[in-house]
Amino acid sequence: MHFFIFPERDATLYQASGSQNTGIDEILEIRKDVSAAGTTVDVSRALIQFDLTKAKRLEAQNPTKVFTYYLNLFDAKPSALSVSQSLFAYPISGSWTMGQGRLDDNPQTTEGCSFNFRDGATVGTNWIPGVSGSGGSWFTGSQYEATHSLNHRTEDVRMDVTTIVNQWLDDNIVNNGFIVKRSGSLGTIQTTDDEGSNERLGNLSFFSSDTHTKYPPTLEIVFDDSSWNTGSLSPLSSTDIEDLVIYMKGLRPEYKEKSRAKFRVVGRERYPEKTFDSTPSTLNVKYLPSGSANGDGAFYSLVDAETEDIIVPFGSGSRISCDSNGNFFNLDLDGFQPERFYSVLFQVVSGSGTNDEQKLILDEGFTFKVSI
């Protein structure tokens, strides 16, 4: 199962414009501007906070499941990126005020978080007591760090932040959100870090929660919700799988946002053998390969039908289930953006690790809409 949570708030902190707030800007930036003389003149960092109520509820309802959490950021207009670099995320160690500013405000908005202050220029509370212009404060240590590698071709970020989210869910620290940045020390920027060195790494831009596009940041929750009980059904044979057809039984053209739906999946051989039974062979439901430790199983993937962006990838969180009526998977559509069309693809893996291994990816043209 894949769930998606949208941010409660976000903002970018700009060193060069120390007190400026950008709480409702459409872009989050991880900048590093280097002068012609080779000195760093500006860095920026992004703050993002999510409400974890849904995550707590899911974990309480599924105490035996293993949960993984991903921070998803979608690239907007990056520039002059180096061949390779890394981004880091840390849990913010204090409260902050989002504010109502934008980067192009003239005059600048200074109420709300900024590189210099956690709450705005009027109150003027430093992020770190006694340290001016620290650009945020965060917890340090391996249990508080997540990282993601990227390259000059740019890409969306899907960063595993499970260790950080678990710290919040276990109430070890207060959830004040993530700070996303290049490597750099807490407090004063050091020349030995990526942020303070004279290496030109370029500027990363991502859509914020205030974007008018379909690409706001998300916190993705993934766990294996599959169950397996075949009843009296028979399995598809390896010969069946060689030329497999999958269809979705009872697929509706439209589903309401925030609803929960069960999708029935039926697999059969493409050309059933002619028989003289009283029941057509096409109605004899057989089950797809079951999930196992060696990688076998049937999986689904959801793709944006317009952009072909992968929303739900093949993996442990998209394993297809089975009951006495056949195969199925469940979707909780709370967190899927409405007024979008989604295509359903299937992957079937059997005989993993053997000479008879088969891996099929099937796109049979199944599409549905999530509506308001």
Last residue of a domain, one of 222, 256, 284: 222
pLDDT at 117 over 80: yes
pLDDT at 189: 79
pLDDT at 301: 97
Please answer whether residues 357 and 342 qualify as being in contact, where contact means their C-beta atoms are separated by less than 8 angstroms.
Answer: no
pLDDT at 283: 55
Residues 241 and 218 in one domain: no
pLDDT at 154: 65
Mean pLDDT of 22-51: 90
Helix axes 162-169, 53-61, angle to 10 degrees: 90
Total structural domains in the chain? 2
pLDDT at 308: 93
Residues 134 and 259 in one domain: no
Q: What is the pLDDT of residues 130-166, one digit of tens each?
A: 898 899 999 999 999 999 988 767 678 999 999 999 9
Between β-strands 358-371 and 254-256, what pairing exists: parallel, antiparallel or unpaired?
Answer: parallel
202 — pLDDT class (breaks 50, 70, 90) = confident
Last residue of a domain, one of 194, 222, 250: 222
| Torsion, CA 51, CA 52, CA 53, CA 54, rounded to 10 | 110
Residues 348 and 202 in one domain: no
Residues 172 and 114 in one domain: yes
Beta carbons within 8 Å of 306's beta carbon, 6+ residues apart: 340, 341
Residues 184 and 238 in one domain: no
Q: What is the pLDDT of residues 291-340, one digit of tens each?
A: 765 678 899 999 999 999 999 999 989 999 999 999 999 999 988 999 99
| Residue 201 or residue 209, greater confidence | 209
Q: Which domain holds residue 343?
A: 234-371
| Residue 358 or residue 15, greater confidence | 15
pLDDT at 294: 64
Residue 347 lies in a domain: yes
188 — pLDDT class (breaks 50, 70, 90) = confident
pLDDT at 137: 96
Give the 3-state secondary structure of the chain: CEEEECCCEEEEEECCCCCCCCCCCCEEEECEEECCCCCEEEEEEEEEECCCHHHHHHHHHCCCCCCEEEEEECECCCECCCCEEEEEEEEECCCCCCCCCCCCCCCCCCCCCCCCECCCCCCCCECECCECCCCCCECCCHHHCEEEEEECCCCCEEEECHHHHHHHHCCCCCCCCEEEECCCCCCCCCCCCCCCCCCCCCEEEEECCCCCCCCCCEEEEECCCCCECCCCCEECCHHHHHCEEEEEECCCCEEECCCEEEEEEEEEECCCCCCCCCCCHHHCCEECCCCCCCCCEEEEEEEECCCCCEEECCCHHHECEEECCEEEEEEECCCCCCCEEEEEEEEEEECCCCCCCEEEEEEEEEEEEEEC
Q: What is the CATH number of the domain that holds 321?
A: 2.60.40.1930
The whole-chain average pLDDT of the chain stands at 89
* Single pTM value for the model: 0.91
Q: How far is Cα of residue 323 from the mean position of the Cα atoms in its chain?
A: 29
Residues 239 and 367 in one domain: yes
Residue 161 lies in a domain: yes
pLDDT at 37: 80
Q: Which amino acid is at 293?
A: A
pLDDT at 192: 75
Rounded Cα gap, residues 310 and 305, in angstroms? 9
Last residue of a domain, one of 174, 191, 222: 222
